[in-house]
Amino acid sequence: MVNYSWYKQLQLGDIFAKVEAGERLTFADGQRLFACSDVLAVGALAHKVRLRLHGNRAFYVMNQHINYSNICVNGCRFCAFGRQKGDPLAFQLTAADVHHKMHDSLTAPITEVHMVGGCHPDLPLAYFEDLLRTIKQVRPDVLIKAFTVVEIAHFAALEGCSSREVLRRLRAAGLDMLPGGGAEIFSPRVRALLCPAKLSGEGWLRVAREAHELGIKSNATMLYGHVESNEEKLDHMLALRALQDETQGFVCFIPLPFQPANTQVCEVGPTTGVEDLKTMAVSRLMLDNIPHLKAYWIMLTVKLAQVALHFGADDFDGTVVEEKIGHMAGAESEQSLTRQELERTIRDAGFDPVERNCFFHKVSNCHRV
Ligand code: V47
């Protein structure tokens, strides 16, 4: 039972009152929520907000992931997916390969293709335009959520043009939205330790802002459970919240628990269930202006993602079909889920499953197969 006396006992009575009144929480409030040892109390507050925003609905998407290449110049220490050019495990799909992939799943009832890769040293922008056109040619009905803002900035540097120009050209070729990857933790301290060659946090926010100003929506992630502090997580959330106040361009926030296997930081982690649920709940409470919060079952496991629907999350992501980034780093989840499995998991948690597209528009029953 969510009542004031429970929170008063935990010395969170003022935070409870703020959440009741729909008031914005501060950095210091976030610190106290992270420090609270009663994860159920923090979760119940987040659930209150989640119910206010979305009622009993929990969303999922029929989607397919495509990784066009794992070749990457960044060499992030937390990543088990990226490879240097010439590595025996490096791969790079051609537009014809992507055409075959899409053709093989021609009758799959997907509404979204999620396509990302690494920061490849020499692929020209025309290659990416070609991939987008190929997908739209085979599946004009499908929305393409592709290329993190890190990739966008990298394409611009290689092409010798601005990231705005890259975004304009990719949109003209069929890009509908940007996924939220590459944000990691914005803290320069953490980036210096884990991903010194990658676009800075400031750079990530700059390109996200540019996309939003051009009318391109995006998601945002936060990779946690490695060397970051609670304060660095909160700084990350508040930077996103400030940008969202200006642009309203973020659709969904996705906390990603670090998967340590086969990475250069395998001595830390994995995260605990309580850490995952508390991070989900604090995200819901701090990010009062980002409408959706994803429990990404690939990284959380299906079982914990299901429980996370009671800790602030309203989205379960989707069918996925072929996932590499989490599984190469030891994620123990399945490779894909069916619509029936997604709906059963959501219903069993006590929610009504709603199929959505990448913009969280409801997919009407007549389009469902
Ligand atoms: O950018 C890399 C992260 C991201 C590891 O926008 C790792 O709808 C955990 O961004 N352990 C890719 N995480 C995934 C991603 C995503 C996934 C699903 C939906 C959406 C969306 C976005 O995974 C990377 C990086 O931040 N990552 N290595 C790892 N070892």
Query: What is the C-alpha to C-alpha distance for residues 342 and 336, in angstroms, rounded to an integer?
Result: 10
Q: Is 218 in the pocket of ligand 1 (CB under 6 A)?
A: no
315 CA → ligand 1 middle, Å: 16
Predicted confidence at residue 368, as pLDDT, reads 58
Pocket perturbation via mutation, ligand 1, pick of 62, 145, 221 by most ligand atoms within 8 A of CB: 221
Predicted local distance difference test score (pLDDT) of residue 261: 94
Per-position b or e across 181-193, b if 16+ CB within 10 A of its CB: bbbbbbbeebbee
Kindly report, residue by residue over 93-147, the tens digit of the pLDDT: 999 999 999 998 888 899 999 999 999 999 999 999 999 999 999 999 999 999 9
User: Distance from the CA of 172 to the center of ligand 1, in angstroms?
Assistant: 26
Q: Is the pLDDT of residue 291 over 70?
A: yes
Residue 67 forms beta bridges with which residues? 116
The angle that helices 273-286 and 39-54 make with each other, rounded to 10 degrees, is 50
Output the residue whose Cα is nearest ligand 1's atom 6.
179
Res 231 pLDDT > 70: yes
pLDDT at 159: 97
Task: Determine whether the shortest distance from the Cβ of 70 to ligand 1 is under 6 A.
Answer: no
Task: Please state, rounded to an integer, the average pLDDT across all residues of the chain.
Answer: 96
Query: By the 8 A CB rule, do 312 and 280 touch?
Result: yes
CB 309 within 8 A of CB 295: yes
pLDDT at 282 over 90: yes
State whether the Cα torsion 194-196-331-309 is positive or negative.
positive
Is residue 32 pLDDT above 80, yes or no? yes
Mean pLDDT of 166-177: 98
- Indicate if ligand 1 lies below 6 Å from the C-beta of 219: yes
Q: What is the pLDDT of residue 3?
A: 86
Contact between residue 78 and residue 224 where contact means Cβ atoms under 8 Å apart = no
Question: Which residue's structure tokens are 């802002």?
Answer: 209
Please check the confidence at residue 367 and state whether its pLDDT lies above 60.
Answer: no
- Which burial class, exposed, middle or buried, applies to 310 when counting CB atoms under 10 A from its CB (0-12, 13-18, 19+)? buried
| Per-residue confidence (pLDDT) for residue 105, from 0 to 100 | 85
When pLDDT is cut at 50, 70 and 90, the band that residue 174 belongs to is: very high
Domains of the chain: 4-44 (no CATH), 57-367 (3.20.20.70)
- What are 87-92's contacts with CB under 8 Å, separation 24+? 92/68, 92/120, 92/123
| Mean pLDDT, residues 287-302 taken together | 97
User: Is residue 365 over pLDDT 80?
Assistant: no
Give the amino acid at 127.
Y
Share of the chain above pLDDT 90, in %: 93
User: How far apart, in whole angstroms, are the C-alpha atoms of residue 49 and residue 289?
Assistant: 11
